[in-house]
Amino acid sequence: MSPAPRSVDPALPIGVFDSGLGGLTVVKKLLEQLPHEDIIYLGDTARVPYGDKSRDTIIRYTREDVRFLMGFGVKAICIACNTADSMARLQMEAEFDVPIIGAVGPAARKAVKSTKSKRIGVIGTSATVRSGAYPAVIEKLDPTCRVIQQACPLLVPLVEAGRFHRGDVVVETVLHDYLLPLMEEEIDTIILGCTHYPLLYDIVADLLPEAALICSGFASVDFLRDKLAETGTLNPQKGTGSHRFFVTDAPERFAKHGSLFLQTPVLDVCEKVTLGGC
Amino acid sequence: MSPAPRSVDPALPIGVFDSGLGGLTVVKKLLEQLPHEDIIYLGDTARVPYGDKSRDTIIRYTREDVRFLMGFGVKAICIACNTADSMARLQMEAEFDVPIIGAVGPAARKAVKSTKSKRIGVIGTSATVRSGAYPAVIEKLDPTCRVIQQACPLLVPLVEAGRFHRGDVVVETVLHDYLLPLMEEEIDTIILGCTHYPLLYDIVADLLPEAALICSGFASVDFLRDKLAETGTLNPQKGTGSHRFFVTDAPERFAKHGSLFLQTPVLDVCEKVTLGGC
């Protein structure tokens, strides 16, 4: 049974969380698409990455992330992290009374709309792929679609090491090796199922020149915008919204690396918090 | 003031911990060098890696690791993880009454003995390098030595992805880029300052054919063996010691990947524990 609909104050902030830095690509899109919204961002940098951990551990961490954001009375929570979304969203929806926007559903819907060959590729972390969340959602939307998944555990470290530029033999070789099975399956649509992957967009496009590329985080922002508009809960303020950033490890390091993703110096207001009773 | 020396029962086990899997290269060496010892191993796989986290967070995690091993009445604790050793060992020695064997000191002593040019290279995680532990110890042992450090954040993910073989353009390019500044400084000795790096031994040797290679974890096992012999606390049992493995995330995944490091199927006795009150 669904909980009774809440009366939501449109002036409340939106909560966004990620295992670390990657979610800032989603924040960047949010700032463009929903400039009047107040945003509370949480990056669980003391326990990053989630992508190679187990379901139980990911659910435990995600619960603590959601609970933290609930403390700000958020009107919606955007799970930027595909891993947390894939492994823990259903559980969180059962436990918390707040709209939770994932990345998987919106990206899957875009992919199903885009594909003509009915062969869709998905790249993500080991945990995202292991969860089977993308194939489950896509095959429910269109049972004639075939989903070819590839776990890409090296892509997050490579992006964070700054190795995401065209012409870098390391990232190009790694991506080629990961994408080869998808090329052979002649997919015409690929979901970049991790918030770090927008930085690899050009190289993926070079390797799959015929395919439509769908960035999961951007799809979730489009979905959130539509949802807020439909329910009349867009923030009515005229000016730019306020943005607070929280991390579970040293804020200085987050601020330094965060500019890679956000491409603005907005991170001077980053605070440290401790989760998990540790 | 040092604490009063404890009377130690030689039959007690040795505790070993690491942020994850890498410490199993140390266990492998322990099994060879000290086959009669009982070993309790802890891998903090729910929070791995430590190498790109802050000092405060690493100290907090290390404290929980040490406290867990102390619960088994261990006669000594071997910090397999260079990051934890570099950032947190002094703090742990102040807090706990047990001999704590790190990797940095033994490896630094071997390097100082080995070098003729007085130019020593150190590769490790970002946190190990940032800690300055290796230069501090080496320059204390021999102030005429110059230490050239290089943080190598991609090496752990590459090894864990199985990309550590000669002829792999990815790992060879990454290692070449990391080692170039060390080559230019004409080091004659290099410390592999991370438990994952023994798997990269051959490629490092190819790139630095004139240099002596020192595996930090192996140096710490030699040091532990000498220390137990000197203090008459080698385990007197005739048979092979017992070995227990604990992890903070799913044991199945640890067992699967662990064989990469241990190269024996001893991991059928791996148990899960929760640290940090979470």
Q: pLDDT confidence of B278, banded at 50, 70, 90? A: very low
pLDDT band, residue B265 (cuts 50/70/90): low
> Average pLDDT, stretch A35-47?
96
B263 Rama class: left (phi>0) / alpha (psi -120 to 50) / beta: left
Among the options A81, A152, A215, A270, which is catalytic?
A81
Residue B3 within any structural domain of the chain? no
Q: What is the ipTM of this complex?
A: 0.89
Query: What's the pLDDT score for residue A55?
Result: 95
Q: Do A57 and B250 touch (CB under 8 A)?
A: yes
A148 and A51 both lie in a single domain: no
Confidence band for B261, pLDDT divided at 50, 70 and 90: confident
When pLDDT is averaged across residues A116-121 and rounded to a whole number, the result is 98
Convert the pLDDT of each residue in A188-215 to its tens digit.
999 999 999 999 999 999 999 999 999 9
- Strand spans (E) along A4-46: 14-18, 39-43
Peptide bond connecting B5 to the previous residue in cis, omega within 30 degrees of 0: no
Listed in sequence order, the residues at least 6 apart from A74 whose beta carbon sits closer than 8 Å to its beta carbon are: A12, A13, A14, A15, A40, A98
Residues sharing a CB contact under 8 Å with residue B88, sequence separation 6 or more, in sequence order: B55, B58, B59, B62, B63
- Specify if B277 maps to a domain: no
B27 and B123 belong to one structural domain = no
| B7 assigned to some structural domain | no
Mean pLDDT of A228-249: 95
Q: Which chain B residue shows the shortest CA-CA distance from A275?
A: B278
Q: How much helix, strand and coil, in percent to the nearest 5, is found in chain B?
A: 45, 15, 35
Best residue in B53, B67, B168 for a mutation probing chain A (most A CBs within 10 Å): B53
Tell me: the pLDDT tens digits for A64-87? 999 999 999 999 999 999 999 999
- Residues on chain B touching A248 (C-beta within 8 angstroms): 57
What pLDDT is recorded for position A170? Answer: 98
Asked which of B176, B200, B218 is the last residue of a domain, the reply is: B218
Note the pLDDT of residue B231. 95
**Pick from A248, A194, A237: which is nearest to A26 by CA?**
A194
**CB nearest to A157's CB, from B57, B154, B278:** B154
My answer on whether A234 and A96 are in the same domain is yes
Note whether B45 contacts A60, CB cutoff 8 Å. Answer: no
Each residue's pLDDT tens digit, B32-48: 999 999 999 999 999 99
Chain B residue with minimal CA distance to A157? B154
Q: Binning pLDDT at 50, 70 and 90, where does residue A278 land?
A: very low
Nearest to A173 among B45, B54, B169 (CB): B169
Are A56 and B276 in contact (CB < 8 Å)? Answer: no
In angstroms, the Cα distances linking B226 to A147, A163, B49, B229 are 57, 43, 30, 5
pLDDT at residue A239, as a whole number: 95
Residues B169, B113 share a domain: yes
Token pair of B237, please? 């049992």
Residues A125 and A208 in one domain: yes
- State which of A192, A217, A242 marks the end of a domain: A217
Q: Are B47 and B61 in contact (CB under 8 A)?
A: yes
- Assign A269 a pLDDT band (cuts: 50, 70, 90): low
In a domain, B261, yes or no: yes
* Residue B167 contacts A, CB cutoff 8 Å: no
pLDDT at residue A159, rounded to an integer: 94
Domain contains A8:
no
Helices (H), chain A: 24-33, 55-70, 82-95, 104-114, 126-131, 133-141, 155-160, 169-184, 201-207, 216-230, 251-262
- Both structure tokens of A213: 């590329």
Question: What does the pLDDT average to over A126-144?
Answer: 97
Residue of B62, B256, B278 to mutate for A, most A C-beta atoms under 10 A: B278
The verdict on A136 and A239 lying in the same domain is: no
Select the residue of A53, A173, A278 nearest B277 (Cβ to Cβ). Answer: A278
**B162/A contact by beta carbon, under 8 A:** no
Q: Residue A227's domain is classified under what CATH number?
A: 3.40.50.1860
Residue A1 lies inside a defined structural domain of this protein: no
In terms of pTM, does the model score above 0.90? yes
Name the percent of chain B lying above pLDDT 90: 86
Classified as helix, coil or strand, B145 is coil
Cβ of residue A176 closer than 8 Å to a chain B Cβ:
no
pLDDT tens digits, B53-87: 999 999 999 999 999 999 999 999 999 999 999 99
Backbone angles phi, psi at B149, to 5 degrees: -100, 155
Q: What is the pLDDT of residues B85-124, one digit of tens each?
A: 999 999 999 999 999 999 999 999 999 999 999 999 999 9
Query: CA B63, CA B42: separation in Å to the nearest integer?
Result: 13
Query: Across the interface, do B157 and A153 touch by the CB < 8 Å criterion?
Result: yes
Over 90: is that where the pLDDT of B21 sits?
no
| Shortest Cα distance, chain A CAs vs residue B184, angstroms | 22
Residues A84 and A156 in one domain: no
List the strands of the sheet with A119-124, edge to edge. A146-151, A119-124, A189-192, A212-215
Structurally, chain B folds into a number of domains equal to 2
| Residue A234 confidence (pLDDT) | 98
Same-domain check for residues A96 and A18: yes
What's the pLDDT at B93? 97
Give the confidence band of B252 by pLDDT, cuts at 50, 70, 90.
confident
Active site residues of B: 81, 194
DSSP structure class, residue A62: H
pLDDT at B7: 82
Say which of A45, A54, A154 has its CB closest to residue B161: A154
The pLDDT tens digits for B162-217 are 999 999 999 999 999 999 999 999 999 999 999 999 999 999 999 999 999 999 99
For all residues of chain B together, what is the average pLDDT?
A: 93
Same domain as B151, residue B76: no
Q: Do A173 and B170 touch (CB under 8 A)?
A: yes
In a domain, A210, yes or no: yes
DSSP codes, A125-171: -HHHHHHTHHHHHHHHH-TT-EEEEEE-TTHHHHHHTT--STT-HHH
Are B260 and B246 in a shared domain? yes
Mean per-residue pLDDT, B137-152: 98
Are residue B81 and residue B162 in the same domain, yes or no? no
Say yes or no: A98 and A223 in one domain: yes
pLDDT higher than threshold 60 for residue A2: no
Residue A258: band (very low, low, confident or very high) from pLDDT cuts 50, 70, 90: confident
- Token readout for B56 is 């405060």
Which domain covers residue A87, as residue numbers?
A: 14-102+219-272
Choosing from A78, A194, A215, A270, the catalytic residue is: A194
- Does the residue A61 lie in any domain? yes
What pLDDT is stored for residue A1 in this prediction?
A: 45
Task: Give yes or no for B54 touching A (CB within 8 A).
Answer: yes
